[in-house]
């Protein structure tokens, strides 16, 4: 838990020596609380005070990085148990498990599909993050499969084996790409920790029992490794939910360091549908990484969509820039459609407009990210606002006709809007899905 | 010393609502369904109990649905134009827990069926299926206020669940539920303050809080799911913390929302990158339902039999001891 300025002040020397550049220790403490300045600016702090403040300055759940470059995955550093309390910050890494027993041809074929598991939804790119390679064969075959997969995908890698020697042989050549290695347990942790330390790569610590898992992370820490991810092994769905909830609670509410790491879950269920449902539940219930075997687009699209939903900032709806968007080869005769700047409204209308193949202007009115009906009720989507937007976005210069099309849900404003804008108002369909047939009828 | 686990104990529990009455209880159902009663957040059985499991109601319409994609129509075969056969199929073949009869055809713009049409259908359904019944209007206030009280009257004693009551239009339906012994669905627009206010208004008319189910108004996966998800979490936390006017079970209209989503309906030829159409639609509905279970949903209104089968299996796994 973050300390307040006063809590920090109590640990400072209280000499007001000004060496930190602030007039008093209290002023310095306030800046520290805001994380606007570093503690090492204070030359007089005791070692004890420093240790206490440094420990509390760490986030309760450590941020862990896997992979490299623009495909790197960062997880952890979460602050809340419920998204309405603030937001969830680092979206769950979604990964596909491949076995090393696959033939070269199978690997190539599967990666061709896996590398394409990214979609555009409401103006954002949503994508899977990881490929996990599971050892079922000998060390040489495992290393060869990892090498082949690593060369054929830009995604981060997870190496799954309980044999440290096999992991070492596979991980060493690709250590620069920061693969995640899985997993250290109470028996093999020394070897795994040494390996993670030598290659500077993150490590999963695994134990089915939370108390033993905490002991394990302490043991691994004392081997000099702190880039950890937690797994509580295979167990029934509700037990897993309990573990994930406890780990998040203990880290946030008790600042309990030994479990202050992100989590990983592996879906063992290989039912086409149930594995998707399980993955979604773990995303809702805090998992930092989820690995599954299914990689059909119809299985992955709902998983990534759910992640996008749940990691949206509840205080800040996704918005688009308010302006007049030309869709297709517009002319001065093209119809003008009005919607809000709430991403979901905008992109739903945009999708239908594009599907209709009718070139048109889509005017996104600044409703502060509210949807059509909400904005209308809150008086952010009014006749005045729409008239003003039409002029601001130079609709009179762009089209030679005098018509505008408004969403069916705000039909009641037609009269007032005609008066205010001096334009002929045509009431469009209520649902975006009705736009293509609406536009076709409009033209005929 | 090892860190102790953090177990949360709550001062309040969710009301238990009973839907349906057997012959001993003054009705004709072969079972009564109980929902609610949990005294903690969903599925955390180390610290709380959930005496009644979530249930699934299947929707039956009084007119053949026009906007269902073929992938959704197919499992129903030829019963979609025959509501009684449709309801029987849901009961016997798809093992629905409840039937949710939607009187959509009474809407002035959708056929404008009469009171007597609606009453006859409700009686036929009661006579032909034995599972508890949910009766839903057409979302036309005036017509609903005319028809739903009649439906409530002819099902007296059956302990149906009838909806929806809204902040601007709750009195007629509340009076009918009170007079004929039914439960009510109280609908609020993704807003716990309105949900609470409406529950207060309804209880002030004399309907006890253990005859109210909250409809928080959900959105589908990808279409605002997260708004309702968080509203339900907030509502449940407030309820468990002691707010008795939010301590009612949730009903989520998953099917109608999920099957409006483009991802559930669009053909694979239109969006090849989205993968198989049938499986995609089934999962869209099942994932939407499963997400709301995690926010505390007690009754799910669903459509595709395969989605229902998946969610039932998910519920079994969630409840596995």
Is pLDDT at A1 greater than 70 in this prediction? no
Which ipTM score applies to this complex? Answer: 0.97
- Which strands make up the sheet holding A324-327, listed edge to edge? A324-327, A360-365, A336-340, A403-406, A424-427
Taking CB atoms and an 8 Å limit, are B45 and A242 in contact across chains? yes
Q: Give tens-digit pLDDT for B231-247.
A: 999 999 999 999 999 99
Residues of A in contact with B44 (CB under 8 A): 238, 241-242, 245
State how far the Cα of B61 lies from the Cα of B269, in Å rounded to an integer. 30
Is pLDDT at A20 greater than 60 in this prediction? yes
Q: Does residue A317 belong to any structural domain of this protein? A: no
- Domain end residue (candidates: A262, A279, A310): A310
Residues of B in contact with A235 (CB under 8 A): none
pLDDT of residue A444: 60
pLDDT of residue A343: 86
pLDDT of residue B189: 87
Q: Give the fold, CATH level 3, of B16-319.
A: TIM Barrel (3.20.20)
DSSP, residue by residue, B33-77: EEEE---SSTT-TTT---SS--EEEEEEESS--SS--HHHHGGGT
pLDDT range class, residue A150, cuts 50, 70, 90: very high
Taking CB atoms and an 8 Å limit, are A82 and B280 in contact across chains? no
Q: What is the mean pLDDT of chain A?
A: 93
- Look at A25-29, A97-101, B40-44, B227-231 and tell me which has the smallest mean pLDDT: A25-29
Q: Give tens-digit pLDDT for B79-136.
A: 999 999 999 999 999 999 999 999 999 999 889 999 999 999 999 999 999 999 999 9
Taking CB atoms and an 8 Å limit, are B291 and A284 in contact across chains? yes
Taking CB atoms and an 8 Å limit, are B283 and A431 in contact across chains? no
- Tokens (6 digits) for A306: 């759910």
**B237 interfaces chain A, CB cutoff of 8 Å:** yes
Q: Does residue A433 belong to any structural domain of this protein? A: yes
- Tokens (6 digits) for A371: 């949807």
Residue B223 has its nearest CB partner, among A236, A296, A344, at: A344
Same domain as A25, residue A41: yes
CB A109 within 8 A of CB A97: no
Q: Which of B222, B230, B238, B254 to mutate to test the interface with A (most CBs of A within 10 A)?
A: B222
Taking CB atoms and an 8 Å limit, are B221 and A302 in contact across chains? yes
Taking CB atoms and an 8 Å limit, are B221 and A305 in contact across chains? yes
**B271 interfaces chain A, CB cutoff of 8 Å:** no
Q: Which residue of B has its CA nearest to A342?
A: B224
The nearest CA of chain A is from the CA of B106 a distance in Å of: 20
Q: Tell me the CA end-to-end span of chain A in Å, nearest whole number.
A: 64
- Tokens (6 digits) for B94: 């798809």
Is pLDDT at A377 greater than 80 in this prediction? yes
At A268 the three-state DSSP class reads coil
Taking CB atoms and an 8 Å limit, are A296 and B279 in contact across chains? yes
Taking CB atoms and an 8 Å limit, are B274 and A119 in contact across chains? yes
Taking CB atoms and an 8 Å limit, are A238 and B319 in contact across chains? yes
Beta-bridge partner residues of B56:
B300
Is pLDDT at B69 greater than 70 in this prediction? yes
Kindly report the CATH number assigned to the domain that includes residue A15: 1.10.15.40
Beta-bridge partner residues of B251:
B299
Instruction: List B residues 92-131 in contact with A (Cβ-Cβ < 8 A).
Output: none
Is pLDDT at A58 greater than 90 in this prediction? no
- Tokens (6 digits) for B20: 């349906």
Q: Does residue A315 belong to any structural domain of this protein? A: no
Query: CB contacts < 8 Å between A and B, how many?
Result: 140
Is pLDDT at A36 greater than 80 in this prediction? no
Taking CB atoms and an 8 Å limit, are B274 and A121 in contact across chains? no
Domain ranges of chain B: 16-319
At which residue do the structure tokens 């609020």 appear?
Answer: B188
Is pLDDT at B1 greater than 80 in this prediction? no
Residue B44 has its nearest CB partner, among A242, A256, A305, at: A242
- Please enumerate in sequence order all residues whose Cβ is within 8 A of that of A411, keeping only pairs 6 or more positions apart, or say none: A427
Taking CB atoms and an 8 Å limit, are A238 and B224 in contact across chains? no
Taking CB atoms and an 8 Å limit, are B275 and A297 in contact across chains? yes
Q: Give tens-digit pLDDT for A257-273.
A: 999 999 999 999 999 99
- Domain end residue (candidates: A258, A282, A310): A310
**B169 interfaces chain A, CB cutoff of 8 Å:** no
At A182 the three-state DSSP class reads strand
Q: What is the mean pLDDT of residues A238-256?
A: 96
Is pLDDT at B59 greater than 80 in this prediction? yes
pLDDT of residue A432: 87
Taking CB atoms and an 8 Å limit, are B2 and A211 in contact across chains? yes
The nearest CA of chain A is from the CA of B299 a distance in Å of: 18
- Tokens (6 digits) for A340: 């809000």
Taking CB atoms and an 8 Å limit, are B320 and A238 in contact across chains? yes
Residue B291 has its nearest CB partner, among A211, A299, A306, at: A306
For residue A183, whether the previous peptide bond is cis, meaning omega lies within 30 degrees of 0, is yes
Instruction: List B residues 9-48 in contact with A (Cβ-Cβ < 8 A).
Output: 43-46
- Please enumerate in sequence order all residues whose Cβ is within 8 A of that of B49, keeping only pairs 6 or more positions apart, or say none: B37, B38, B39, B40
Residues of B in contact with A258 (CB under 8 A): 3
State how far the Cα of A376 lies from the Cα of A413, in Å rounded to an integer. 9
Polymer length in residues for chain A: 444
Instruction: Give whole-number Cα distances, A212 to A232, A243, A248, A370, B143, in Å.
Output: 10, 13, 16, 48, 63
Same domain as A21, residue A91: no
Q: Give tens-digit pLDDT for B186-217.
A: 999 889 999 999 999 999 999 999 999 999 99
Residue B283 has its nearest CB partner, among A245, A298, A351, at: A298
DSSP, residue by residue, A412-444: GGHHHHHHHH-SEEEE--SSGGGHHHHHHHHH-
Kindly report the CATH number assigned to the domain that includes residue A96: 3.20.20.20
Same domain as A249, residue A103: yes
The nearest CA of chain A is from the CA of B253 a distance in Å of: 18
Q: Does residue A318 belong to any structural domain of this protein? A: no
pLDDT of residue A2: 62
Instruction: List B residues 296-315 in contact with A (Cβ-Cβ < 8 A).
Output: 306, 310-311, 313-314
Is pLDDT at B149 greater than 90 in this prediction? yes
Q: What is the mean pLDDT of residues A116-138?
A: 95
Q: What is the mean pLDDT of residues A275-295?
A: 98
Residue B317 has its nearest CB partner, among A236, A249, A284, at: A236
Kindly report the CATH number assigned to the domain that includes residue A352: 3.40.50.11600
- Domain end residue (candidates: A310, A342, A357): A310
Q: What is the mean pLDDT of residues A2-26?
A: 87
Same domain as A53, residue A68: no
Instruction: List B residues 44-103 in contact with A (Cβ-Cβ < 8 A).
Output: 44-46
Q: Which residue of A has its CA nearest to B306?
A: A273
Residue B222 has its nearest CB partner, among A84, A274, A305, at: A305
Q: What is the mean pLDDT of residues B41-58?
A: 97
Q: What is the mean pLDDT of residues B150-175?
A: 97
Which among B116, B129, B203, B138 has a CA at the least distance from the CA of B160? B129
State how far the Cα of A281 lies from the Cα of B314, in Å rounded to an integer. 10
pLDDT of residue B312: 98
DSSP, residue by residue, B126-142: HHH--S-EEEE--S-HH
At which residue do the structure tokens 């002035």 appear?
Answer: B108
Q: Give tens-digit pLDDT for B249-262.
A: 999 999 999 998 99
Is pLDDT at A283 greater than 70 in this prediction? yes
State how far the Cα of A352 lies from the Cα of B262, in Å rounded to an integer. 10
Q: Which of B221, B236, B284, B316 to mutate to test the interface with A (most CBs of A within 10 A)?
A: B221
CB A230 within 8 A of CB A282: no
Is pLDDT at A51 greater than 70 in this prediction? yes
Provide the angle, in degrees to the nearest 10, between the axes of the packed helices A164-171 and A189-199.
10
State how far the Cα of A94 lies from the Cα of A131, in Å rounded to an integer. 9
- Tokens (6 digits) for B289: 């339902």
| Maximal C-alpha separation, chain A | 83
Provide the angle, in degrees to the nearest 10, between the axes of the packed helices A297-310 and B277-295.
30
Taking CB atoms and an 8 Å limit, are B226 and A253 in contact across chains? no
- Count Cβ neighbours within 10 Å for each residue of B230-263 and write b for 16 or more, e otherwise: bbbbbbbbbbbeeeebbbbbbbbbbbbbbbebbb
Residue B2 has its nearest CB partner, among A214, A302, A305, at: A214
State how far the Cα of A48 lies from the Cα of A51, in Å rounded to an integer. 5
Residues of B in contact with A351 (CB under 8 A): 262
pLDDT range class, residue A39, cuts 50, 70, 90: confident
pLDDT of residue A4: 80
Taking CB atoms and an 8 Å limit, are A433 and B283 in contact across chains? no
Taking CB atoms and an 8 Å limit, are B3 and A214 in contact across chains? yes
Residue A84 has its nearest CB partner, among B234, B262, B274, at: B234
Q: What is the mean pLDDT of residues A53-76?
A: 89
- Tokens (6 digits) for A184: 């250290």
Residue B290 has its nearest CB partner, among A211, A253, A281, at: A281
The nearest CA of chain A is from the CA of B50 a distance in Å of: 12
Domain extent, residue A73, equals: 64-310
Which among A237, A374, A264, A207 has a CA at the least distance from the CA of B294? A237
Q: Does residue A287 belong to any structural domain of this protein? A: yes
The nearest CA of chain B is from the CA of A435 a distance in Å of: 13
pLDDT range class, residue A6, cuts 50, 70, 90: confident
Q: Which residue of A has its CA nearest to B7?
A: A246
- Tokens (6 digits) for A426: 């045509």
Same domain as A192, residue A211: yes
- Tokens (6 digits) for B111: 């056929």
Q: Which residue of B has its CA nearest to A209?
A: B5
pLDDT range class, residue A351, cuts 50, 70, 90: confident
- Tokens (6 digits) for A398: 């762009």
Q: Give tens-digit pLDDT for A174-226.
A: 999 999 999 999 999 999 999 999 999 999 999 999 999 999 999 999 999 99
Q: What is the mean pLDDT of residues A417-426?
A: 95
Same domain as A177, residue A216: yes
pLDDT of residue B67: 87
- Tokens (6 digits) for A139: 């060390």
Q: How many domains does chain A have?
A: 3
- Count Cβ neighbours within 10 Å for each residue of A370-408 and write b for 16 or more, e otherwise: bbbbbbbeeebbbbebbbebbeebebeebbeeeebbbbe
């Amino acid at each position: 838990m973050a300390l307040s300025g006063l809590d920090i002040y109590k640990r400072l020397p209280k000499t007001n020596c000004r060496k930190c550049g602030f007039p008093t220790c209290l002023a310095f403490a306030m800046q520290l609380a805001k994380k606007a300045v570093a503690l090492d600016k204070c030359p007089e702090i005791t070692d004890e005070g420093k240790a206490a403040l440094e420990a509390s300055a760490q986030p309760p759940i450590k941020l862990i990085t896997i992979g490299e470059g623009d495909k790197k995955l960062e997880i952890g550093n979460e602050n809340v148990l419920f998204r309405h309390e603030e937001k969830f910050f680092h979206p769950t890494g979604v990964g596909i498990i491949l076995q090393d027993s696959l033939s070269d041809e199978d690997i190539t074929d599967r990666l061709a599909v896996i590398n394409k598991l990214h979609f555009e939804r409401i103006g954002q790119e949503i994508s899977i993050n990881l490929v996990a390679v599971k050892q079922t064969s000998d060390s040489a075959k495992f290393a060869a499969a990892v090498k082949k997969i690593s060369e054929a995908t830009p995604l981060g890698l997870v190496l799954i084996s309980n044999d440290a020697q096999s992991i070492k042989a596979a991980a060493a050549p690709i250590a620069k790409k920061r693969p995640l290695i899985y997993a250290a347990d109470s028996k093999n942790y020394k070897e795994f920790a040494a390996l993670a330390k030598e290659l500077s790569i993150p490590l999963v610590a695994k134990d089915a029992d939370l108390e033993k898992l905490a002991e394990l992370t302490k043991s691994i820490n004392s081997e000099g490794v702190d880039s950890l991810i937690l797994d509580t092994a295979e167990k029934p769905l509700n037990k897993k939910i309990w573990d994930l909830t406890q780990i998040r609670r203990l880290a946030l509410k008790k600042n309990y360091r030994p479990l202050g790491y992100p989590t990983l879950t592996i879906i063992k269920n290989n039912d086409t549908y149930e594995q998707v449902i399980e993955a979604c539940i773990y995303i809702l219930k805090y998992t930092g990484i989820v690995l599954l075997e299914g990689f059909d687009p119809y299985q992955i699209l709902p998983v990534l969509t759910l992640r996008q939903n749940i990691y949206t900032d509840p205080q800040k709806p996704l918005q688009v820039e308010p302006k007049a968007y030309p869709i297709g080869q517009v002319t001065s005769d093209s119809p003008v459609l009005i919607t809000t700047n709430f991403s979901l409204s905008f992109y739903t209308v945009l999708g239908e407009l594009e599907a209709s193949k009718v070139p048109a202007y889509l005017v996104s009115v600044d409703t502060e990210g509210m949807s059509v009906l909400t904005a209308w009720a809150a008086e952010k989507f009014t006749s005045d606002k729409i008239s003003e937007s039409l002029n601001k976005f130079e609709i009179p210069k762009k089209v030679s006709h005098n018509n505008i099309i408004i969403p069916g849900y705000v039909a009641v404003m037609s009269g007032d809007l005609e008066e205010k804008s001096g334009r002929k108002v045509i009431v469009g369909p209520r649902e975006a899905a009705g736009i293509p047939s609406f536009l076709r009828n409009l033209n005929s | 010393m090892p860190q102790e686990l953090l177990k949360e104990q709550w001062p309040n529990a969710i009301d238990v609502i009973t839907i349906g009455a057997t012959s001993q209880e003054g009705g004709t159902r072969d079972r009564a369904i109980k929902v609610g009663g949990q005294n903690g957040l969903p599925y955390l059985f180390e610290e709380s109990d959930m005496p009644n499991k979530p249930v699934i109601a299947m929707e039956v319409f009084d007119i053949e649905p026009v906007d269902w994609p073929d992938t959704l129509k197919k499992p129903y075969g030829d019963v979609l134009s025959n509501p009684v056969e449709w309801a029987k199929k849901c009961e016997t073949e798809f093992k629905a827990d409840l039937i949710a009869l939607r009187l959509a055809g009474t809407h002035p713009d959708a056929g404008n069926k009469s009171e007597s049409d609606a009453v006859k259908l409700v009686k036929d359904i009661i006579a032909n299926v034995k599972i508890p019944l949910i009766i839903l209007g057409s979302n036309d206030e005036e017509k609903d206020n005319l028809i739903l009280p009649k439906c409530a009257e002819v099902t007296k004693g059956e302990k149906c669940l009838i909806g929806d009551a809204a902040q601007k239009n709750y009195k007629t339906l509340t009076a009918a539920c009170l007079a004929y012994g039914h439960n009510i669905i109280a609908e609020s627009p993704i807003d716990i303050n309105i949900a609470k206010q409406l529950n207060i208004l309804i209880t002030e008319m004399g309907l006890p809080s253990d005859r109210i189910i909250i409809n928080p108004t959900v959105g589908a996966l990808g279409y605002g799911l997260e708004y309702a998800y968080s509203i339900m979490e907030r509502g449940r936390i407030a309820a468990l913390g002691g707010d008795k006017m939010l301590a009612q079970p949730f009903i989520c209209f998953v099917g109608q929302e999920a099957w409006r989503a483009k991802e559930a309906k669009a053909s694979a030829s239109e969006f090849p990158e989205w993968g198989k159409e049938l499986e995609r639609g089934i999962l869209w509905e099942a994932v939407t339902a499963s997400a709301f279970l995690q926010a505390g949903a007690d009754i799910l209104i669903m459509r595709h039999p395969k989605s229902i089968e998946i969610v039932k299996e998910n519920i079994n796994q969630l409840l596995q001891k």
